[in-house]
Amino acid sequence: MSDLAKRIVSALVAAPLALIMIYLGGLPLATFLAAVSAGCAWEFYRIAAAGGAEPLDPLGIPLAGAIPLAVYAAGIGLYRPSLVLPAVVMLVILAAVIWARGPQRRPVGAASMTVMGILYTGGLLSFGYALREHPYAVGNRAGTALVAFPLVLTWASDIGAFFVGRAVGGPKLIPSVSPGKTISGALGGLAATVLVSWLYVRFALAPVALLTMTIPATILFGASISVSAQIGDLVESLLKREANVKDSSHLIPGHGGLLDRLDSLLFVLPVAYLLFGWLLLPSVP
């Protein structure tokens, strides 16, 4: 099977599954995000190990997967969020490096990389659950429309950057990090995202979620999502370049790894959640 065929088959399986989990929300979505977070953490620690670090991946992977489930549990009132739990996790990690790494194997770096992997994967992906259960979204359709908004804009940014960069070319954006990206592509992605943002608000968000944004807010949201998506992509490129690896893994046939597909969303999801609190308005019939 060719790489293109593998990419198409993988997308046909993954996209409907993700949409179903988003529509269901609640525990199914939290469990789905937990599994994806654990997979992303495994890939992150794999990259870190290739770069010479020794993170505590047997500890970090389950903790990354636990964050979306903890967000779900807090949302249904099983416990009250506080700084106690993160503090305990930090103490456990620091204590573990005493025995697992010792002074000769860079224990501070191991602990730092372990914490970063947890926050970078499970911490950021948990905002997908927060978006789905956003207080402004009433009902499954509205919650799904709200989560789909930044997802669609991320794809628009990627597609716009690819085609404009390919057609126009010109100076590179940051060649030391990602040699293929150009300034024209970054601007093309930005313009495409702003346009799709306006279309989505008018034809999807307003009629489905009964929410809207002003024109300036729509432009600001689209531009912010595009910038966040491109930074997220560059961050993963930087991590892989430092470790001298091409793909985060080969979990997804034709696509590489989970981080290769979700690197932009890791930055987009928390930014979208923050901006929704400022920019969303009730739709006027």
Instruction: Write the DSSP string, the chain.
Output: --HHHHHHHHHHHHHHHHHHHHHH-HHHHHHHHHHHHHHHHHHHHHHHHHTT----HHHHHHHHHHHHHHHHHHHTTSS---SHHHHHHHHHHHHHHHHHT-GGG-HHHHHHHHHHHHIIIIIHHHHHHHHHT-TT--SHHHHHHHHHHHHHHHHHHHHHHHHHHHHH--SBS-TTT-TT-BHHHHHHHHHHHHHHHHHHIIIIIIIIISEE--HHHHHHHHHHHHHHHHHHHHHHHHHHHHHT-S-S-SSBTTTB-HHHHHHHHHHHHHHHHHHHHHH-EEPP-
If you average pLDDT over residues 242-250, what whole number do you get? 89
pLDDT at 10 over 80: no
pLDDT at 285 over 70: no
pLDDT at 83: 83
Which two three-digit tokens encode residue 124? 């950021």
Count other Cβ atoms within 10 Å, centred on residue 195.
14
Average model confidence (pLDDT) for the chain?
Answer: 92
pLDDT at 77 over 80: yes
Asked whether 131 and 10 are in contact (CB, 8 A), the reply is no
pLDDT at 33: 98
Asked whether 30 and 235 are in contact (CB, 8 A), the reply is no
Per-residue pLDDT of 170-192, as tens digits, reads 899 998 888 889 999 999 999 99
- Alpha-carbon 92 to chain mean position: 26
If you average pLDDT over residues 121-148, what whole number do you get? 95
Environment class of 96 (CB within 10 Å of its CB; exposed 0-12, middle 13-18, buried 19+): middle
Which two three-digit tokens encode residue 26? 């609640």
Please give the model's pTM, rounded to 2 decimal places: 0.93
CA dihedral 160, 228, 32, 240 (to 10 degrees): 90
Of 144, 120, 118, which is closest to residue 29 (Cα–Cα)? 144
Count other Cβ atoms within 10 Å, centred on residue 37.
30
pLDDT at 2 over 70: no
Asked whether 53 and 113 are in contact (CB, 8 A), the reply is yes
pLDDT at 13: 77
If you average pLDDT over residues 211-235, what whole number do you get? 96
d(CA 9, CA 70): 32
